[in-house]
A and B are shown apart, each in its own frame.
Chain A
Amino acid sequence: MRSLNPLAAAVIACLAFSASAQQPIVLQWQTANLTESQYEPVWKATIAEFEKENPGVRIEPVLVARKDHWTKFVAAAQAKKAPCIVTVDLTTAAYNGYLMPLDKYWNAEPAEFRRAWSEAMLSASKWKGQLYGLPIWGGTYAEIYNRDLVTKAGLDPAKPPKSWNDYMVWAKKLSGSDHWATAVLGGKTDTTTRILLMWIWSNGGEAFNADMTEATFAKNPKSLEAIKFYLGLVKDGVAAPAPTTTNYLEQTNLFAQQKIATMRNAYWALAKVSGDNPAMKGRMFVAPGPANVPNAPTLTSVAASSISASCPYPEQAWKFIKFDAGKKWTVERAKVANWMPTRNDMADDPAIKSDPLLAQFVQIGNNARSYPLPSPIWAEIAANDIVDAVQKALLAPEKTEEIFTDLDARLTKKLKDV
């Protein structure tokens, strides 16, 4: 135990004995965001205010590096000692029995509370018909452009490319000997998969069938066409070299240092780039990604707060989740950390309206599919199998069809095995 002065310990023991006050209920809260430095003042304020309104309940934050967040959660969940309030890959966690269904608490809420979340948004937090989390924040992806580089290339920032052909025209003009139009993500994280999916959808293709039992990367000709086009940007010389080691970090670095003129990224990337290079602040504009079919959806990554299966105080945990999902904190999150609201009643909020880029993202997000895709093995598929295929295709472009046919077979087998 932490070393306590014996006298202090004795005094505390006496007090605890004599006082008939209840022991405070301690709820642990684990989300990878707690280690984001810009979010720190917000979550501290959230906890402080909640504890003031709810004496007798203490929220204990569990800080963990993002890359190890799942590992730590699983280790604790396996021993049935996971933190009460968590934000994790919902489908996978629910499938493995780590989360508690929330329908009981959800249905007990007044209708006006429940109206704030659309059916589409909620479906991202459901597994086998039961609700396992309350969507808290999201990130919509769009094409972010560097205004200065665009004008320098003789292009019009008010008319961003709408189709693939337009995009290629722009891309060629934005590339030179040591700078490129964009970057293809091929690094070993699931962001690679996110961007790939968006390109597939922008061609009217699909990566999976409706109930996620079959993969159609190569089977669907439109998907394959999209894959070839997107990965081919490197060969065409309009995307930065070394795509197999390009993740979100490298991509935003390249953009911040003006080595690439555009990137497919989420709203939070704006803050990252401004932080890396203050000169970029205000010099970016946003547009939906180019598409070959009308109304092609973009992607919104949704994070939800859930209650772990072993939590001994679910009512209090739900109270905190509701509190955290309230308008005030949603606005704070959007302002300091650029995490977008998942509530649909925020469009008229002055804080949101006053930030034109955010408003644009919200608008683009009205036509978006939620991510992660609802499969319990999504974490593995997205970060391992699909990425491996992308990397192989980047290294041997002539074999793209073969590689993705192979991927289809492997994924279908895994999906059927669930």
Chain B
Amino acid sequence: MFLFLCAVVLFPLAHAFWTSLLRVRGLSSRFVGAENYQHVLTDDAFWHSLGVSLTFTVACVVLHIGIGLAMALLIDELRFARTALRIAFLTPWMVAPAVGATIWLWLLEPQFGVVNYLLQAAGIVSGPIAWLGTPALAFASVAAVDVWRGVPFVMLLMLAGLATIPREQYEAAAIDGAGGWQRFRYVTLPNLRYLLIVASTLDIINTIRHYDIIGVMTAGGPAGATEVLPVLLYNTAFRGNRFGEAAAIGVLLLLIVLAFSIFHIRLTRPDRGAR
């Protein structure tokens, strides 16, 4: 059974790595060694895409964790309609990402979208805003939608974590004269540490490989402002039909994510051995 698991894991990895060493043209392929990597690494599009990916991932993960934690703290204290509230806040996670992205696409539509309508009706803006039309705004919009998608999961984990913190710790801190912020810093955070690490690591991995939202909303536009690596990879593979190169991008992406994760875990768990 472990063999099965290993096979399931290793097969796609091996295949991707092998493909990255080939120049694939339809059904025929030719071994070209590191040529694909050379091609990819000297292409501006790759570095630009990498930059976008990193910015996007860092921004989104920080917001996911931050807002998720804040939301958890917020609704933890509320007793009324507890379950209903939690389900409601989990909705974005339960709807398929592509469906959610399509709806946001509409809501943000310049002429017919509800968001512009509401903003104009409230007098906040004078004319329709093209949320996905200009680079900076498009980036912010897809990031916002990704935050909408990603917060529920973090919030759920945090809620669970908060529920385990023993009351006594808070009471002890209060007796010692700690204010709200200090209680948060010295009681809440340390208790949530492991959960935060789990949540953020998974979140990084999920966000950096996420395709659906950007694929549906902007397909990497405008002018490449939202072209994260998964989008570049998809375009290279299925629009450009250059599978070897796409595999190379994929392997590079994997190495980047691996490095990122290891760095992240090292940074946040220096005392792991103590457990």
B130 within 8 A of A: yes
A78 at the interface (CB under 8 A from B): yes
Q: Determine if B11 is an interface residue (Cβ-Cβ < 8 Å).
A: no
Residue A136 lies at the interface, judged by CB distance under 8 Å to chain B: no
Question: Any chain B CB within 8 A of the CB of A259?
Answer: yes
Q: Which of A17-35 contact B (CB under 8 A)?
A: none
Checking B218, B223, B239 against A388 with a beta-carbon cut-off of 8 angstroms, the contacting residue is B223
- Chain A residues, CB < 8 A from B130: 241-242, 244-245
Q: Please state if B238 and A74 are interface contacts (CB–CB under 8 Å).
A: yes
Given the complex of chains A and B, what is the CA–CA distance between A148 and B114 in angstroms?
28
Which residues 368-392 in A have Cβ within 8 Å of B in the complex?
377, 379-380, 383-384, 387-388, 391-392
Residues from chain A with a CB closer than 8 A to the CB of B135 are: 395
Residue contact A388 to B224, C-beta cutoff 8 Å: yes
Which residues of the other chain, A, contact B25 by a CB distance below 8 angstroms?
95-97
Taking CB atoms and an 8 Å cut-off, the chain A residues in 222-276 that contact chain B are 240-245, 250, 253-254, 257, 259
> Quick one: CB contact mask for B98-132 with A, threshold 8 Å, 1 for yes?
00000000000111100000000000000010101
Q: A70-B238, A244-B133, A380-B235 are in contact. Are A391 and B111 (CB under 8 A)?
A: no
A80 on the B face (CB < 8 A): yes
Question: Which residues of the partner chain B approach A241 to less than 8 Å between Cβ atoms?
Answer: 110, 128, 130, 133
Query: Are the CB atoms of A395 and B223 closer together than 8 Å?
Result: yes
Query: A96 and B110: CB pair below 8 A?
Result: no
A92 within 8 Å of B by Cβ?
yes
Specify the main secondary structure of chain A where it touches its partner.
Answer: helix
Q: Is B83 an interface residue (CB 8 A)?
A: no
Q: Mark A46-76, 1 if CB is under 8 A from B, else 0.
A: 0000000000000000000000001100100
Would A74 and B241 be within 8 Å (CB), given that A96-B25, A97-B26 are in contact? yes
Judge whether A380 and B241 touch: CB under 8 Å.
Answer: yes
- The answer to whether the Cβ of A187 comes within 8 Å of any Cβ in the partner chain is yes
Within 8 Å CB of B133, what residues of A? 241-245
Across the interface, A395 reaches (CB within 8 A) one of B109, B134, B238, B241, namely B134
Contacts of B134 in A (CB 8 A): 244, 395
Q: How far apart sit A254 and B26, CA to CA, in the bound complex (Å)? A: 40
Nearest neighbor of A93 in chain B, beta-carbon distance: B26
**Of A240, A377, A392, which is within 8 A of B111 by CB?**
A240
Q: Is B219 an interface residue (CB 8 A)?
A: yes
Interchain CA distance A250-B130 in the complex, whole Å: 13
- Check B240 against A380 for contact (C-beta < 8 Å): yes
Q: Give complex CA distance A400, B220 in Å.
A: 21
Pick the contact of A383 from B128, B222, B224, B239 — CB < 8 Å? Answer: B239
Q: Which residues of A have CB within 8 Å of B240?
A: 377, 379-380, 384
Is B221 part of the binding interface, using a Cβ–Cβ cutoff of 8 Å? yes
B238 and A257 contacting across the interface, CB-CB below 8 Å = no
Chain A residues with Cβ below 8 Å from B220 are: 188
Q: In the assembled complex, how far is the CB of residue B134 from the closest CB belonging to chain A, in whole angstroms?
A: 7
Cα A358 to Cα B250 in complex, Å, equals 48
Contact indicator B132/A245 (Cβ below 8 Å): yes
Residues 130-168 of A contacting B (Cβ, < 8 Å): none
Q: Beta-carbon contacts of B192-225 to A below 8 Å, as 1s and 0s?
A: 0000000000000000000000000011111110
Please, how many angstroms separate the alpha-carbon atoms of A188 and B222 in the complex? Answer: 8
Could you say which residues of chain A place their CB within 8 Å of the CB of B223?
244, 388, 391-392, 395
When distances are taken between beta carbons in the complex, the residues of chain B under 8 Å from A96 are 25-27, 241
Tell yes or no: B28 within 8 A of A by CB: yes
A98 in contact with B26 given A388-B224, A395-B135 (CB within 8 Å) = yes
Cβ-defined contact, B222 with A244, below 8 A: yes
Q: How far is the CB of B132 from chain A (nearest CB, A)?
A: 5
For residue B27, which residues in chain A have a CB less than 8 angstroms away from its CB?
Answer: 77-78, 80, 96-98, 309
Contacts of B111 in A (CB 8 A): 240, 250, 253-254, 257, 259
Beta-carbon nearest neighbor of B133 in chain A? A242
B39 to chain A, nearest CB (A): 10
**Do the beta carbons of A391 and B28 come within 8 Å of each other?**
no
Contact with B along A154-187 (1 / 0, CB 8 A): 0000000000000000000000000000000011
- Which residues of chain A are near B219, meaning CB under 8 Å? 188-189
Can you name the residue of chain B whose Cβ is closest to the Cβ of A74? Answer: B238
Report whether A391 and B221 are in contact in the complex, using a CB–CB cutoff of 8 Å.
yes
How many angstroms between the C-alpha atoms of A240 and B25 in the bound complex? 41
A397: shortest Cβ distance to chain B, in Å? 13
Contacts A240-B111, A242-B110 given; does A387 touch B239 at CB 8 Å: no
A366: min CB distance to chain B, Å: 32
Taking a contact as CB atoms closer than 8 A, the residue among A77, A97, A253 that contacts B28 in the complex is: A97
Q: Which residues of B contact A92 (CB under 8 A)?
A: 241
Chain A interface (Cβ < 8 Å from any Cβ of B)? 70-71, 74, 77-78, 80, 92, 95-98, 186-189, 240-245, 250, 253-254, 257, 259, 309, 377, 379-380, 383-384, 387-388, 391-392, 394-395
Shortest 7 CB-CB distances between A and B: which pairs? A96-B26, A242-B130, A244-B222, A97-B26, A188-B219, A242-B133, A380-B240
